[in-house]
Structure formats: C-alpha cells, structure tokens
Amino acid sequence: MKKSVFAFYLLALTLAGCKSTQQATTSEADQSTQKKSPYEKIVTSGTISDEGLFLVHRNKDEIYYEIPDSLLGKEMLWISRIAALPAGFGGGYINAGSKTNEQVVRWEKKYDQILLRTVSYSAIASDSLPIQKSVVANNYEPILYSFKVEAENPTKTATVIRVDDLFTKDVSAIGPLRSFLRKEYQVRRLDDKRSFIESVKSFPQNIEVRHDLTFDAGNPPGDEQLGTLSIQMNQSMILLPDVLMEKRAYDERVDWFTIAQIDYGSEALKADQKRYIRRWQLVPKDPEAYARGELVEPVKPIVYYLDPATPLKWRPYFKAGIELWQQAFESAGFKNAIIAKDPPTEDEDPDFSPEDVRYSVVRYVASTTRNAVGPSVSDPRTGEIIESDIIWYHNHLRSYRNRYLLETGAANPRARTLDTPDEDIGEMMKMVIAHEVGHALGLPHNMKASAAYPVDSLRSGTFTQEFGIAATIMDYARYNYVAQPGDENIRFIRQLGPYDHYAINWGYRYLSPTLPEAEKKRTLNSWISEKEGDPRYMFGSGRGGYDPTSQTEGIGNDPVKASEYGMKNLKYVAAHLMEWTTTEGENYADLEELYGEMLGVWSRYTGHVVTNVGGIVETRKTAEQEGTVYQPLSAEDQKNAVNFLLEECFSDPSWMVNTDMVRRMQAEGILERIQSLQARHLTNLLSVSRINRMVEIELLDGIPYGADDMMNDVRKGLWSELRTSTSISPYRRNLQRAYVDHLSELAYGESNNRRGPSASATDAQAIARASLNQLKSDIRSGKARMKDAMTIYHLNDIISRIDDLQEGR
C-alpha cells in the first residue's frame, strides 16, 4: 500500500505559527533542516513508501531499502528474468519471461556497509560435523554488491541503504547479457543516462523490481544504425521459508526436476552427490484419515489464478486444464489439491498482483511467439516449489490449429479447416495448460510414454477414448496421426494417462516425518517395483538420440508402422491442402505456412524411423532388478527401418510437389527445399556416431546387421536405377549427390562431426571409402544401359567427383 511518510512535520510547522518577517522564517527553516536526522532527510513528506518484505522508499529516481535487522542473515531467492526485449534477441530463442539467473542471496551488515552476498547449496555438510568448516572455507561466498549505510530508522531496528545503482549499472550477475551475447551484439558499455528503474513493489514475502537497461552496441538486433540495445529486466527477491520441507530423494526410474547437492558429511567414502525432487509441500489436514486411505484435503492447496488478460471464452478451458491434475492427486490421497481461480476484482483483493509471490498465475501474453512454458521457483535447500507462473503465448493457438489439420485431417473431418471449432481449440488449450502445469508440479518430459501403446490400438475408438494416445500428458505426443480414414470414435488429442497418476503418487504421497529414512526408501522403491516391466510406467528422457522408444512427437510402440500410417495420412492431406487452407479474396499466405509445416511433419515421421537403425532401447533399472539397461534392436527391425526409408523417404517425393499448388506459393526453390530435407536425414542415417554404434553392437551383442550391411543396403537402394536401367529424376540426382558428398567427407575429410569422433579414428572412414569404390564400379557397369542424357551426365559427374577426391589424396 502506498503512503506519504512524516506528513506530521508539515502539521507541526503550521501549529507553531508564522514569523513576522521573511528572515525569521528562513532562519527557522535552516535550523529545522540542520536538526533533521539522516533518516528524516531521506524519508520526507514527498517520499513514496511501500510496505512489505522491506520498507521501500522512492524519492523520484532514488530508491531506498529499509532492511529490518530481523531479516539480516536470512536467505532469499533472487531470480532475474527478461521482461521485455527487442525482436530477434538471442536468435528468437529468448522470450519475455526467460530467466537469466537464479541465486540465493543474504543481506549482511559489515561496519558501515550492507553486503549482498550470494549463497550456494551445491556443497553441504551438517553444522555439527567438523568438515563443515572446510566446506565453508573452500566454498567462500562471493559479495555481489556493497551499499553504504545511509541511515537507521528512528527505532534503530532497521538499516536504510540506497539501491538504485544496483539496477542502473552493468551488474552481470543480474543482467540480461551473457558473454556470447555481448560478443555477438558488440556491446561496448551500459549507458546509465538511458537506464532507469521503472517500478519497485514490496510484498509480504517478496520484492519485485522492473528496470530498463540500455547498452551501446555495434551490432544490435533490429535496426543496426541505432547502435542501441534496450532490455527491460524483472528482479524477484523472495524470502525463503524458515521451516524446511522434508526432502525426497530422486530416483531416475520415475524422473523429476531436481536440486543437486554434494554432501561432504556423507558416510560414503567420497563426496556424495545427492539429488532431491522439486515439489510443492502438501500435508493432509487430517493425517489419521489420510493414513486410513481416505481422500483428504491438504493444509495448503496449490492455487493458480488466471491472468486478467485471459480472453473470457478460453477461461473455462484454462481452469479445466489446471484442475485436471486433481485426478492424479487423488491417486496420491489428496482431494482438491490443486485449484484454479479467476483473477480477483479490485474490490475483492485490491493488493492482487501477478508479481506477488503469494500468487501463482497462468499468464496470457499477447505475443507472436508460438509457445507455452511452465516454470516454477523452488527452494534450493529442499526442492520445495514456492511459486509458479505458467506462460501462454497467444499465437500458440496457431501452432496447434495447424498441426491438428496436418496430422489428423485425413481421418478427422473437424480438422479440415483453418476455422477450427472453438471446442476443439479449447480441448487443445486445456491439454497444453495441463502439460505446462505438470512441469510446474515437478514433472519433466517423458518421451518413452508414447511407446507404451501398440500402434494398432491407436486406431481403436474404445482404446483411445479410455487411455488416450500416450501414457502421460508429459510426452510430446500431441495428436493421433496413426488413425486412418474410416476409424470411428477416435480420440485425436492427448490427455492425462496412467503414468501421471503413478508419478504424482510417488512424488506427493505423504509419508510421516517420524518414519525412519530406511523405511521411506523401501516404500518409495516398492511403488516402482510394483510396476516393473509395464511400459505404461517407464521413463525416458529422449536425449541421446539412440532409443527409438523414447522420441519426441512420436506415438505407438513401432516407429516404422506408425510412420507408415502417418505418411499415408499426410499424402491425403497434401492432396487436399489447397482446398482446406484457401479463402476467396485472400492470398496464399496460409497455404504457404501450412505447406512448410507439412514438410516438417514429413521430416518428423522420417526421423522417427532413422532412430531404429543402430537403435538401443534403454530401460532404467537399479541393481536388484534383472536384465540389462541397454538392449539393441534386432537385425530385422533395423533392416525394416532402412527399407522403409529407401522406399518412402529417399524415393521420388513427387506427391509433396503438386505443381498447381507450388506455383501459387513460390517461383523457385522447391527442389532445393526437398533435397535439403532428404539430405539431412541421409546424413543422420550415415553419421559417424551411428556407424560406430552399429560396429559395437555387432561386436558385443552379436546382432547380425552391422554398419557394412546397412551401408550396402543404402547404396543399393539409393542407386537402384543402375539395376533397372531407368532414368534418374532430378529429386534422386540431388539426393545421390548429397550421398556422395557425405561419404566423401567421411572418407577423406578431417572430421564431419565436431562434437563426436573423427571418421578417420574409426571404421567409418574405411566403410565410406569401400562404399565409394563400390559405387564407382556399379556406375560403370550400369551406365552403358542408360539412355536419358541428363542421367548419363549425372553419372559421369559422380565418377569425376570420386576420382578427383581419390587422386587428391
């Protein structure tokens, strides 16, 4: 609440009466000024003060914090986020709301200074152990900033400091520019004359500062001639709780977002790295009823408010997406554990602000960004989630509309339009919000969940209506692209699944603090053991690129079969794309946008199959579980994948190039565009890392489909015209040149992969050279039967390229 301080001084002067001369009045005023304390000189009748965590005073551009002695030494979480930024900043991958730093800080008094010190919990030891002294000495906490003590409050219980320099100077620890951005934009200096504090708001548990920083830059994003880069930052300082939440140890078999600490006080014969899951603190109101298995409300439920800017027609879907998680929390024994509320009116709550840490808010952002994110703020000491703001960017609707049309339009008549029905858009928004809330509850992406269901089950209306299209909403399984025209009662949009109930129960079910640690560990492990072997309860991050059952955007347990169905549907969509996306009186901008995204869908289906080749399935296990963690795919599965790629992805893609449609969008470039996509997947298929993996799999696991077998199949398939004596189309010529270029790099280049091994250090180089030699032989024997002039020119050119390479070495 804003207020003027010390207005009583004006009243006191009035009651004292006026002197008879101007000289007397001036003299008395001088004496009054001299008698004022340092505090009274800062906090005057014109000062605007805001009461909260600290008492914040503002005199025009001067900002003062009045820090209570009781909060000195207390730990606070400081989060720096970008509030507004120029277009194209960070290559478009940094948005308003992006976090630039998160750190724990502590305010300390040292002589006539207040120090702002950063605190780390990456290394810990119990205060009662001798080694704690060494931990402190070897992890000395740096001083972020120091402030001169300007005054003490009248009761000597608080210290006043001036803080505006912290927010108007170039302080990298809370700033927007990392070193690579400074270099890219040729940032020379911060111009403090064009840097200022926009607002400071003090709430009971946090202080929010919004400030503008302007830099001189030689190569700024946007208009280069301006030589200016301006960014608005938001700084959140949040008081951490005195009572620590009980930590729950992380288990990679049911993955969570975590905090990590190195415990030097551990009994292990090393500095023991420990990880704990990030979660909200939920405690049952009635522990006895909870222990009996009854559903019990938590003492403090998780509450999300909608942004006042949220369009009225979408609010029911946003609220439903939030409260969808009530089902999962009931599996953990809680009812009404998560609640969605409309934003309060000014009369209902005049102090309501989305920036107040007491409120978690689903922000609705007017932005062309196509995204939604679910960040949260957690206590680094325990992992307790304190607050969360889900961010929905307005144009994300467009992404889902487009993919709904492209991926389900063949089997779903409701998707065959740019004017998607509101109830369908609402259902998509509901599930996107639920996905982001899942992140804010502590759950990361689980890309293995989409492989839990058989592909053909996704064509069943009965199955999909009950189980959805993946075992969790935390997978990137957005739409059912497997269902075919004629399949009935299909669910096309994702939903919560069995893994969500399982994970929430594992992370949130309340365990009594009096339960011994060993018993808690056994209990948590037993919940995982109960589900062992069931694909619905497995986790996979999707990282590494080697596990075909853990891929983004995929659905079903067989990537080849799923992509077969997907490609069949995509061909139907391509044939009707112009019909579904054009409107009389409008240009072809929508058609061009959807066409470009259609090529992206084709690319995803292709990529899913590539991963099968040299694929290794990961099943996370602990030592007491039988079997290995990593199991390579069979030779049959890998060979089927290569055959699919040759027949469907590396063949003539004329179905994607309807002349009547293409010539309404662009004058040239379609051949290059298609070739680029095909070449990218071919290069991925023939990468050094995949070849090396296949060599190792053949050696260690005895899989009878090695790298040489794969390379032979690809060569024969890509150059099949040499055996059939048919003309080679321009699409195939482009792809064949890309093949030769890539093999040339493997055979004679220094390294084709900066992040991986050089081909020359592995068998990849020898296999590539053998493939080029065999290709040259195949061309010489097959060329004589060719009659098409361009085909002969092309084959002669390929031989010359190979000869030039070999002669140059």
Q: Which two tokens stand for residue 240?
A: 């951490």
| Residues 616 and 693 sit within 8 Å (Cβ to Cβ) | yes
Please state, in angstroms and rounded to a whole number, the distance separating the CA atoms of residues 363 and 343: 11
pLDDT at residue 153, as a whole number? 95
Cβ contacts of residue 540 below 8 Å, gap of 6+? 446, 447, 448, 449, 451, 547, 549, 550, 618, 620
What is the Cβ-side half-sphere exposure of residue 50, based on CA atoms within 13 angstroms?
18
Please state, in angstroms and rounded to a whole number, the distance separating the CA atoms of residues 281 and 442: 12
pLDDT at residue 233, as a whole number? 92
In the numeric block, the tokens 């596990």 are attached to 547
Q: Please state the length of the chain.
A: 809
| Residues 608 and 563 sit within 8 Å (Cβ to Cβ) | yes
* Cross-sheet strand order for the sheet of 123-124: 123-124, 258-263, 272-277
pLDDT at residue 20, as a whole number? 40
3-class SS at 732?
helix
In the numeric block, the tokens 């040339």 are attached to 744
Asked if residue 176 has pLDDT above 50, the reply is yes
Query: What is the residue extent of each domain of the chain?
Result: 2-239, 287-581, 668-807
Please state, in angstroms and rounded to a whole number, the distance separating the CA atoms of residues 80 and 102: 6
pLDDT tens digits along 455-480: 999 999 999 999 999 999 999 999 99
Please state, in angstroms and rounded to a whole number, the distance separating the CA atoms of residues 113 and 226: 40
Cβ contacts of residue 270 below 8 Å, gap of 6+? none
Q: Which two tokens stand for residue 218?
A: 């030689």
Least confident of 17-26, 34-43, 512-521: 17-26
372: number of Cβ within 10 Å:
21
Least confident of 40-44, 96-100, 485-489, 616-620: 96-100
Asked if residue 264 has pLDDT above 70, the reply is no
Least confident of 111-120, 754-763, 794-803: 754-763
pLDDT tens digits along 629-675: 999 999 999 999 999 999 999 998 889 988 888 888 888 888 888 99
Average pLDDT, integer, range 607-618: 97
Residues 440, 444, 448: CA angle, nearest 5 degrees = 145
CA 27 to chain centre: 66
Least confident of 606-615, 633-642, 761-770: 761-770
E strands, 121-244, in order: 123-124, 143-152, 158-162, 187-190, 196-202, 206-217, 228-239
Cβ contacts of residue 377 below 8 Å, gap of 6+? 77, 79, 102, 236, 238, 357, 385, 386, 387, 388
Average pLDDT, integer, range 488-509: 97
| Residues 619 and 627 sit within 8 Å (Cβ to Cβ) | yes
Average pLDDT, integer, range 376-386: 90
pLDDT at residue 15, as a whole number? 36
Helix or strand (DSSP H, E) at 84: strand 75-84
Strands 228-239 and 75-84: antiparallel
Write the secondary structure of 320-363 as one string of H (helix), E (strand) and C (coil). Answer: HHHHCCHHHHHHCCECCCEEEECCCCCCCCCCCCCCCCCCEEEE
Cβ contacts of residue 577 below 8 Å, gap of 6+? 591, 594, 595, 598, 661
Where do runs of H (alpha helix) occur along 360-420?
396-408
pLDDT tens digits along 589-601: 999 999 999 999 9
Average pLDDT of the residues of the chain: 88
pLDDT at residue 11, as a whole number? 36
E strands, 522-647, in order: 616-618, 630-632
Asked if residue 3 has pLDDT above 90, the reply is no
